[in-house]
Amino acid sequence: MIEGIELLLVRLPLVRPFRTSFGTETEKEAVLVRVLGDGPDGWGECVAGPDPGYSEEFNAEAWVTLRDHLVPDLLSGNVSLVRGHRMAKAALEMALIDRDLKGRGVSLREHLGSQRREVPVGVSIGIPAGGVAELVDRVGEHLAEGYRRIKLKIEPGFDLEAVRAVRHEYPDILLSVDANAAYTPADTSPIEALDGFGLLMIEQPLSHEDLWEHARLQARLRTPLCLDESIRSAADAAAALEMGACRIINIKQGRVGGLTEAVRTHGVCLRRGVPAWCGGMLETGLGRAANLALASLPGFTLPGDISASARYFPEDLTEPFVLRPGGMMAVPSGPGLGVEPLSERLEAMTVESLLIRP
């Protein structure tokens, strides 16, 4: 029996500001969902941010969508007719799955049917205030820590020079770039200029809603394009691959509406032999636990954006995740997500909470 569902808004300081082409985050703000009843609590984390810069979803609307629609629909047993709002749906789904699995003593990894107990991971480096020189230093630090793939955030004016400098220093590393939709079909020359640097992929150069212009661009490039923002479902992934819009897919459970749809999206890639990897949204330990379980599925053939807690937060919400030798991270093996928020931290980081009863 579900006795209530609690929504919590939490804020965690970041170790350093994270700048992308769409904005800068200095702290992590997230909506958490806690399902209460007999048996263990279930926890879910919404991947939306404070502003609609990455996609149309953001925390204030996710809160209202959960409070006024998704949670009441669930508690009253009505079929939910909410369109879109995938990140809000994903958070609720995660909490329900976590509770169910904890009650049955099954880990999310086992539930997904995965064999791998650790996964190779990479790190995503925001656009540094100190420009290219600072970027090259940061790449060196993360390589020394053991990360297996480096991803650079780029935007018009911070692209070619940055890639050239990093490649000059590190000619052989697995290196990719991510534009977060910052370029336009009218001028793709900065992207085409990156084609000769042996990049593993160029992620989401064009609009967050586009497939067609990406297909036209991919036809002119040797480097694989990877789509992130444009892929909101398994069906989107199939369409993108069918039309040649990309050759690699970034899978984020929040972006596609939950773990179930993420597994379906992974299936689309696996059946076609298309490389996939698990994206990250600066999640706290809760969301990262889900990402690690997802990334342990066999179709995730490239290192994910899943880094150790210390790369994001002075203090994580859960026991910290650490990097293992060889740039690997352990997939949690405990029931459900395999992690819990630490109660003292949760209390200190919660800025708002609301308990909704049936």
Catalytic residue annotation: 153, 252
Cβ atoms of 168 and 133 within 8 Å: the answer is: no
By CB under 6 A, residue 282 contacts ligand NPG? yes
- Can you tell me which of 205, 258, 280, 303 binds ligand NPG, judged by CB under 6 A? 280
Euclidean distance between the first and the last CA atom of the chain, given in angstroms as a whole number = 10
State the minimum distance, in angstroms, from the CB of residue 27 to ligand NPG.
12
Whether the Cβ atoms of residue 3 and residue 74 lie closer than 8 Å to each other:
no
CB of 46 to ligand NPG, least distance (A): 12
Binder among 97, 152, 281, 337 for ligand NPG (CB under 6 A) = 281
254 scored as a contact of ligand NPG (CB under 6 A): no
Note the Cα 297 to chain centre separation in Å: 15
CA distances from 211 to 76, 230, 297 (A): 38, 7, 26
Q: Pick between residue 74 and residue 121 the one whose CB is nearest to ligand NPG.
A: 121
Rg of the chain (C-alpha set): 20
Among 42, 190, 258, 279, binds ligand NPG (CB under 6 A): 279
Binding of ligand NPG at residue 59 (CB under 6 A)?
A: no
Beta bridge partners of residue 300, listed in sequence order: 276
Selected binder of ligand NPG within 124, 253, 296, 318 (CB under 6 A): 124
User: How crowded is residue 41: how many other Cβ atoms within 10 Å of its Cβ?
Assistant: 16
| SS3 assignment, position 331 | coil
| β partners of residue 15 | none
Q: Which stretch binds ligand NPG (CB under 6 A): 65-73, 129-137, 184-192, 278-286?
A: 278-286
Given the complex with ligand NPG, which of 249 and 282 has the nearer CB atom? 282
Q: Are the beta carbons of 253 and 90 closer than 8 angstroms? A: yes
Contact 233, 268 (CB under 8 A): no
Which parts of the chain fold into alpha helices (H)?
Answer: 59-65, 71-76, 86-104, 108-112, 131-145, 160-169, 189-192, 212-218, 234-242, 253-256, 259-272, 285-295, 309-312, 343-349
Find the binder of ligand NPG among 6, 178, 210, 236 (CB under 6 A). Answer: 178
Q: Name residues contacting ligand NPG, limited to 93-112 (CB under 6 A).
A: none
The residue (of 101 and 181) whose beta carbon lies closer to ligand NPG is 181
Determine if residue 224 is left, alpha or beta; phi over 0 gives left, psi from -120 to 50 gives alpha, anything else beta. beta
Interaction between residue 49 and ligand NPG (CB under 6 A): yes
**Near ligand NPG by CB under 6 A, which window of 58-66, 133-141, 191-199, 280-288?**
280-288
Under the binding rule (CB under 6 A), the answer on residue 120 touching ligand NPG is no
Q: With binding defined as CB under 6 A, does residue 305 bind ligand NPG?
A: yes
Coil, helix or strand at residue 306: coil
* Interacting residue with ligand NPG among 43, 54, 147, 313 (CB under 6 A): 54
Instruction: Using the rule CB under 6 A, give the single segment among 61-69, 104-112, 235-243, 275-283 that binds ligand NPG.
Output: 275-283
User: Per CB under 6 A, does 284 bind ligand NPG?
Assistant: no
Task: Indicate which single residue of 59, 307, 309, 318 sits in contact with ligand NPG (rule: CB under 6 A).
Answer: 307
Look at the alpha carbons of 284, 290, 295, 296 in this order and tell me if their dihedral is positive or negative: positive
Q: Kindly state whether residue 228 participates in binding ligand NPG, applying the rule CB under 6 A.
A: yes
What are the residues binding ligand NPG (CB under 6 A)? 20, 49, 54, 124, 178, 180, 228, 279-282, 305, 307
